[in-house]
Structure 1
Amino acid sequence: MNDHFTRRIVCLAAFAVAMTGGNVPATERLERGQTRIDVPAIGDGLWVHNLFQSNMVIQRDKPIRVWGWADPGEKVTVTFAGQSQSATAAADRSWKVELPALPASAEPRTMTIQGKTKKVALENILVGDIWLLGGQSNMEFELPKADNGDLEAVSANFPNIRLFSVPQLNGPDRKPSFPMQYRWSDWSHQHFREGYWDVCTPATVREFSAIGYVFARRLHMATQIPIGVIDASRGGTCIETWLPLELLQTIDTPEVKQMLAEWDKKIADFDPQKDLADRIKRFHERAAKQNAGDRQPPATLLPGPAMDMNRPGNCYASMIAPLAGFPIKGALWHHGFNNALQPNGHVLYYQVFARMIGAWRAAFTDPQLPFGIISLCTAGDPQDRDNYLEKMADEGIYIRAVQYQTFLDLWNAGDKNIGYADSFDQRRSWFHPQIKIPVGERIARWALATQYDKRIRWLPPLLKSVETGNGKILLKLDGPAGPYNDGPIHGFAIAGPDGKFQPAQAEHFNKGNNQFDYSVIVLSSPLVPAPVYYRHAWGRNPLANLKSTDHTDLPFATQRNDTWTLADLYEIYSGKKPATPGILNRSEKNELVRLLRTEDLRRRRAEASALLQENN
């Protein structure tokens, strides 16, 4: 038995002792390829929701809601911190009590839930702040996989930080609860511990979100308040799965309507018998080409797209709804990769993102719930001066831009509990960039400044105005900004009315006598005589270095003042309309990349010619 497996069994045994009569988990051996459910979502008799366990954190300064199930008519009494409330189980077995709010406390306390004949005792409970993590695999990304994650892990002795991973369930029906389980992942070929509250230690943190842990560690170090982190992120998911289906159905845009109609058709057309027959046929075709060994042909009917994690509304119903009503402090969101795989995916993303934030706030009964957005991270080969335009042809950049625009929309509308942190400057070519620790620290800046009254900066440099004329574009910012590593400012492209972009020379505004205004950026290019449009950090792995200059390392965000999509750029550079209006097929996308590559080459030749003439 390896150390990893031993540690899990020890944790299970310790949890069983701590529950002392509660929802006690099983301890059967883990089997490869099989998910082991230790505690069902809802059991017989007196049953407290699986959110409530030993080692948990309860949200401070908000009423304490506790709920579960019991026999109809059974009286249930919950006692915590010297306070008690009772409720009677309804005909559907449900019960709920609400205790008065408490201030933060690192004192370990016991909660008891007393029924007619059974008593549950939950121990080592702290009162502090609970933060929810949402998004996909870059939020899930485990701490030891991050750069210097091993150093963080061996240092993670924080008994007042508690960690929880939401079980990854499926299906369109809202789940009232979830099991406690060890989920087998065919993708990772391992089991993942889900549905348990764990004390943060070097052992338990190893399967936890790197960004989530670093965020919690920084908050706890700065405030000494107990911190609970609930990870509800899920790799490979699109944004539409994280909204309630009934909310999506009210969004009256062509993109959302088409997406819902396509899913309805996909579900209606699915034939489980035909699917099984096709899988059996493929099995035998593969077996004829290679030895199948003792493997058997498939024999199980699959549910098909109805249970797909990306079916609109499914992850909300299966992973957010079971938490609904549980008081928390706030939420973080790091997402975007899968929507960037869809043509014009940013259009739908922008239409639904703010609505998703509102839905999550409603689920946790707090219309002002703090919500921090972390921008889509990098992927692909780095953008540089030689391939600058070619690397602008990526839908992921548009996703990142609408994430920032959604933040600006809410912020400018007076939402002071919306937050934002960029991650595009943590550059790696892999779509799971391992530089996670600075990202967790950066979003912690926002939380500490806005939710814990720490006098530190979190806002990136903000654009105040754009002026054009005399062959230049002037960007006026809300404060000084400069290149992170000194030298020239990189990261801007400009275009005239024709929409043909070129990398811009970017300089601080010279007021005269070499007196510079570091809050004004002047953009120009000899190849764009009358620029009116600009883009910044417009690459999936962008060449961009403009940041705040007060030692806070906050990048000027991905943004633009044009509205052209990739389909528009295809028409601009090729002179042809896409076969499908507004959408590029693969051949057209490849042609656009070739055209931009040719334009990069033309510019480099012009620059080389100018350099030769200057030196002759």
Structure 2
Amino acid sequence: MRKYSILLCIGLMFSINALIADVRLPQIFSDGMVLQRNQPIAVWGWADPGEQVKVNLNSQRQETTADADGKWKLTLSPEEAGGPFQLVVSGKNTLTLSDVLIGEVWICSGQSNMEWIVANSNNAEQEIAKANYPQIRHVKIPRITAGEPLDDIEESLEWEEANPQNVGDFTAVGYFYARELHKELNVPIGLINTSWGGTMVETWISKEALKKDKNLKKAVLAYENTPADTVRKNTNPNRYPTLLFNAMINPLIPYTVKGAIWYQGESNAGRAYEYRTSFPMMITDWRKRWGLGDFPFYFVQLASFKAAGGTSATGSTWAELREAQHLTLSLPRTGEAVTIDIGTTNDIHPRNKQDVGKRLAAVALHDSYGRDVVYSGPEYKKHKTSGNQVTIHFDHVGGGLTTHGADEVIGFEIAGADQRFYPAEAKIEGETIVVSSSSVSKPKAVRYAWADDPGTSNLFNNEGFPAGPFRTDNWTPVTKNVVYELKN
């Protein structure tokens, strides 16, 4: 009888709490936020079941009703860039968010090179001192893992202005990207920084998407058979798949965004061939779940780094990862910033994040905003063999081919049918490169910058964009048969 009374009291407590539940917004909605311009704006949250919820923004007023689970969602009509505004949400209580801007909103995600902050980047003291961009706003999603998709971030979030007090803790790549966009577009820019150093791509993908691949499915099934109390919050995000999708992506959906920028891949280099599947899978998964169509997705190709010291002769996992990234351009509305020239042999974290941001911004300005700008370096198009010479043709030559740091072209290799590569002599002839070696009489393959750390490879266009690494052969990659296995 006593047990029944206790249960009855608990039931009454829950009933009373349900009756007095406040209207609530997700944590991503807070003072100083940036909403996406020129697109329908999703607003959602929680209230009492059946409660009428009103949302006011600028001159708009929309109403909806919370469903049986207390969830509600509505869509505001597109707004032009501007602000500051108030976003007012009311039901039995009223929420007023102030200093709300409308502009361009970008997800910034990946591992440590995206998480890397302005304070640790080149010329940090000067960059911080001159940061005076009140229309650039940044919000950092806290590091957390979850075994199942979360509806909301469990911690309060703060949108911060780009000023000397705050900018040191911004994602450096994101900030320098936003700064270039703001200078060109003159509209507010919002950065949602959801990144975690050392993470592999599989932890950023939903369980349902991973199950569609026969190899990745095995890891998911092993994860599903793991006791629930084993998968704890804040555990190693690489221990199981999908943990960061659950905790750091799903709670942001369906916040209206323009697109995403991504810097990741170092942790997947050992399985570079599989990245040809997993990386486009993640992009497709995010797009499907956001419901915004093929929103722009721009990524950074890995910079040079010694890693395991891989070369064409020994096999380079990092070169193969860069190739997998480049192949992802087959997806619509994707773009790539090549950074092979800014890496540091002994440091996986290049401090030059300014050029990374600028190159991503050039891609965005061309692809998303219709600007007539050069946004890429020379990109392998085709080749023709004549005798002992191979002529390489390129796209994105811009104002012409050139070299940096030396008069001769450095970084080309050539091989015959024996698949032994030799350093090649390479000459610029118009918009082509002619490659040869006295050691190879019948060339079958040419490679450029094909190594973990290709060092002084130096082919650029006159606009200052580096040529991306490439190979003309289709010889078997060293990572071809390496697949994801659940870490115990």
TM-score above 0.5 = yes
CA shift, 1:308, in A, is 4.3
Residue by residue over 1:533-579, the C-alpha shift from the partner in whole angstroms, topping out at 9 and shown as x without a partner, is 11111122213110112xx21111111122334649xxxxxxxxxxx
> Counterpart of 2:205?
243
> Counterpart of 2:486?
none
Moved more, 121-130 or 558-567: 558-567
CA contact (8 A) 2:108 2:260 kept: yes
Q: TM-score, normalised by structure 1?
A: 0.70
Q: Choose which of 443, 461, 468 in structure 2 pairs with 1:548.
A: 461
The list of structure 1 runs, each at least 4 consecutive aligned residues, that deviate by more than 6 angstroms after superposition, is none
> Counterpart of 2:112?
137
Residue by residue over 1:337-359, the C-alpha shift from the partner in whole angstroms, topping out at 9 and shown as x without a partner, is 1111x3xx111100122222112
> Counterpart of 1:561?
472
Q: Choose which of 469, 474, 499 in structure 1 pairs with 2:419.
A: 499
Helix, strand or coil at the partner of 1:350: helix
Letter in 2 for 1:51: I
Q: Choose which of 309, 312, 329 in structure 1 pairs with 2:237.
A: 309
> Could you say if the C-alpha distance between residues 176 and 483 of structure 1 is closer, same or farther in structure 2, counting changes exceeding 3 Å?
same
The answer to whether residue 392 in structure 2 is matched with residue 459 in structure 1 is no
CA contact (8 A) 1:396 1:540 kept: yes
Q: Give the distance between the partners of 2:115 and 2:133, measured in 1 at CA.
A: 20
CA contact (8 A) 1:267 1:306 kept: no
The answer to whether residue 299 in structure 2 is matched with residue 396 in structure 1 is no
Q: How does 1:407-556 map to 2 (within 5 A)?
A: 407=329, 409-410=330-331, 415=332, 417-428=333-344, 429-478=346-395, 479=397, 480-508=400-428, 517-543=429-455, 544-549=457-462, 552-556=463-467
> Counterpart of 1:322?
251
RMSD: 2.5
Letter in 1 for 2:431: S
CA shift, 1:50, in A, is 1.1
Q: TM-score, normalised by structure 2?
A: 0.88
Helix, strand or coil at the partner of 1:138: helix
CA contact (8 A) 2:146 2:233 kept: no
> Could you say if the C-alpha distance between residues 214 and 567 of structure 1 is closer, same or farther in structure 2, counting changes exceeding 3 Å?
closer
> Counterpart of 1:47?
24
Q: Give the distance between the partners of 1:202 and 1:358, measured in 2 at CA.
A: 37
CA contact (8 A) 2:383 2:390 kept: yes
Q: Give the distance between the partners of 2:381 and 2:365, measured in 1 at CA.
A: 25
What are structure 2's unaligned runs of at least 5 residues? 1-19, 484-488
> Could you say if the C-alpha distance between residues 498 and 484 of structure 1 is closer, same or farther in structure 2, counting changes exceeding 3 Å?
same
> Could you say if the C-alpha distance between residues 91 and 85 of structure 1 is closer, same or farther in structure 2, counting changes exceeding 3 Å?
same
> Could you say if the C-alpha distance between residues 73 and 535 of structure 1 is closer, same or farther in structure 2, counting changes exceeding 3 Å?
same
Q: How does 1:288-307 map to 2 (within 5 A)?
A: 303=231
Q: Give the distance between the partners of 2:41 and 2:139, measured in 1 at CA.
A: 18
CA contact (8 A) 1:180 1:196 kept: no
Q: Give the distance between the partners of 1:375 and 1:503, measured in 2 at CA.
A: 24
Q: Give the distance between the partners of 2:307 and 2:45, measured in 1 at CA.
A: 51
CA shift, 1:318, in A, is 1.6
How many pairs were matched up?
458
The answer to whether residue 272 in structure 2 is matched with residue 346 in structure 1 is yes
> Could you say if the C-alpha distance between residues 219 and 470 of structure 1 is closer, same or farther in structure 2, counting changes exceeding 3 Å?
same
Q: Give the distance between the partners of 2:212 and 2:477, measured in 1 at CA.
A: 28
What are structure 1's unaligned runs of at least 5 residues? 1-42, 182-194, 273-300, 509-516, 569-580, 585-616
CA shift, 1:583, in A, is 6.0
Letter in 2 for 1:236: G
CA contact (8 A) 2:53 2:63 kept: yes
Helix, strand or coil at the partner of 1:355: helix
Q: Give the distance between the partners of 2:219 and 2:187, measured in 1 at CA.
A: 47
> Counterpart of 2:155?
180
Where relative contact order (Cα < 8 A, 6+ residues apart) is larger, the structure is 2
Percent identity between matched residues is 31
> Counterpart of 1:283?
none
Decide which structure has the larger Cα Rg and report it. 1
